[in-house]
Structure 1
């Protein structure tokens, strides 16, 4: 399990019951809001388009048939499921309100283990648009969570955008070449277990630094991880931590996977949000432990500046590169993306963690209103 620490980077990376996926490029049908994790417009479960239909007068984005296009969207909450890791995909269909069978996938990639469901991870994925002009067609993004704890109308989240594809020149040879390259890449991505696959120690404390250059974002904090107790705590200071907003504040998150409760506490405002957790996932790397990344390299120069050895092992899932220190009990070293975003970890401690660390602020324990909870969680608690 990995920590993709975009929990408070609301503009980058990522009382309804489920809210998980929003699409802005091209703009999704209906309302749009990514101002907070669990934003209501990001919950659209019913296929093929979240139970929102289009009309001939609906807003429509005009794109060039056969061209490349960067699709921008946010996974608004993360629901990684170790037993059957999910995926995100981008698909296309012709028609005003096409049926599920009309869609064909343009691009797909594996879900990632965020170690925290309160995440807001932005993606910009380049796709090859179909070379078939159409006045009324649909571009769709899905999050196929496969998470049984999220099964209220299935486990798939949908967002559709109405588009128009205009005529363009064909380049058959170029297209054939790109298709061959994609075929080779798909073959190379076939999952293999590797002897370097590993898990962090059962009791583990680690400091981190998270930087997103594109929005001048930085945060730092401490992660407490207890595998036996099925508990975690994350303390994070964002952009100095002096304010009381998600772009500048100090926050605590307590995650008790036995009770199924996660509290999100704002120190300066004194407020606390309650979320219902999904299933526990161990903090592991590699396919041996059913994680969704592939081993890349052993004993290479670390991307992170911290740690005594400066040698790391690497795994990759899509654009994410995960690193662990090569000689230190699978302790995380960094997570990086091509955009320049990076999380650097300081080599952590493996000493037992005091149970008091996992006791939430008393204000949180008084909170009864649930900002997010799965159907199973709601049935169990109410």
Structure 2
């Protein structure tokens, strides 16, 4: 009985000790269920480039070269560390080769869990226009007590 209680408590502590990131717009792969609660399971993806989630062609968004687009992300659970703050990075990745183009870095300044960030990006011309592309958001924690990064992806296509 005592060991069962220990496992439950340890699991709860581990579950809330991770930082999470959600990609709200364009919509992340998988579900957005539970995103307004700290430590949402849909927002903790540790495996690059997209947390192991497969492409969802029915959600592909077309981006035009030169177009401005507002990306909306949520820090679902804060993992800020004084003295070594992390950041959020928005990238475009060509899915078949994993060539990438970094678009912007947003500093983590210790905002609380559930903070929503709005970032305007300009869609660049890339050599893989017309190919399946991923808009990736990475939360790099820069916190040695946490995983190094958390990932979210949305499926997009760059059109001239």
Answer yes or no: same fold by TM over 0.5.
Answer: yes
- The reply to whether residue 158 of structure 1 matches residue 151 of structure 2 is yes
Tell me, in whole angstroms, the C-alpha distance in 1 between the residues paired with 2:95 and 2:76.
28
3-state SS in 2 of match to 1:41? helix
Q: Deviations along 1:282-330, whole A, 9 cap, x unmatched?
A: xxxxxxxxxxxxxxxxxxxxxxxxxxxxxxxxxxxxxxxxxxxxxxxxx
Cα offset for 1:104? 2.1
Asked whether the equivalents of residues 36 and 114 of structure 2 are also in contact (C-alpha less than 8 Å), the reply is no
Matches within 5 A, 1:204-223: none
Cα offset for 1:95? 2.7
Larger radius of gyration between Structure 1 and Structure 2? 1
Alignment correspondent of 1:66:
66
Tell me, in whole angstroms, the C-alpha distance in 1 between the residues paired with 2:73 and 2:46.
16
Cα offset for 1:70? 0.7
Alignment correspondent of 1:147:
143
TM-score, length basis structure 2: 0.80
Asked whether the equivalents of residues 88 and 137 of structure 2 are also in contact (C-alpha less than 8 Å), the reply is yes
Asked whether the equivalents of residues 79 and 141 of structure 2 are also in contact (C-alpha less than 8 Å), the reply is yes
Q: Deviations along 1:190-227, whole A, 9 cap, x unmatched?
A: xxxxxxxxxxxxxxxxxxxxxxxxxxxxxxxxxxxxxx
- Unmatched tracts of structure 2, length 5 or more: 1-11
* Residue among 86, 99, 103 paired with 2:100: 103
* Residue among 121, 126, 144 paired with 1:127: 121
Asked whether the equivalents of residues 93 and 138 of structure 1 are also in contact (C-alpha less than 8 Å), the reply is yes
Asked whether the equivalents of residues 90 and 139 of structure 1 are also in contact (C-alpha less than 8 Å), the reply is yes
Alignment correspondent of 2:9:
none
TM-score, length basis structure 1: 0.35
- Deviating 4+ runs (over 6 angstroms): none
Cα offset for 1:78? 1.0
Asked whether the equivalents of residues 88 and 109 of structure 1 are also in contact (C-alpha less than 8 Å), the reply is yes
Asked whether the equivalents of residues 90 and 140 of structure 1 are also in contact (C-alpha less than 8 Å), the reply is yes
Matches within 5 A, 1:328-343: none
User: Alignment RMSD, CA only?
Assistant: 2.0
Q: Deviations along 1:232-284, whole A, 9 cap, x unmatched?
A: xxxxxxxxxxxxxxxxxxxxxxxxxxxxxxxxxxxxxxxxxxxxxxxxxxxxx
Asked whether the equivalents of residues 74 and 121 of structure 1 are also in contact (C-alpha less than 8 Å), the reply is yes
Q: How many residues align?
A: 143
Tell me, in whole angstroms, the C-alpha distance in 1 between the residues paired with 2:115 and 2:136.
18
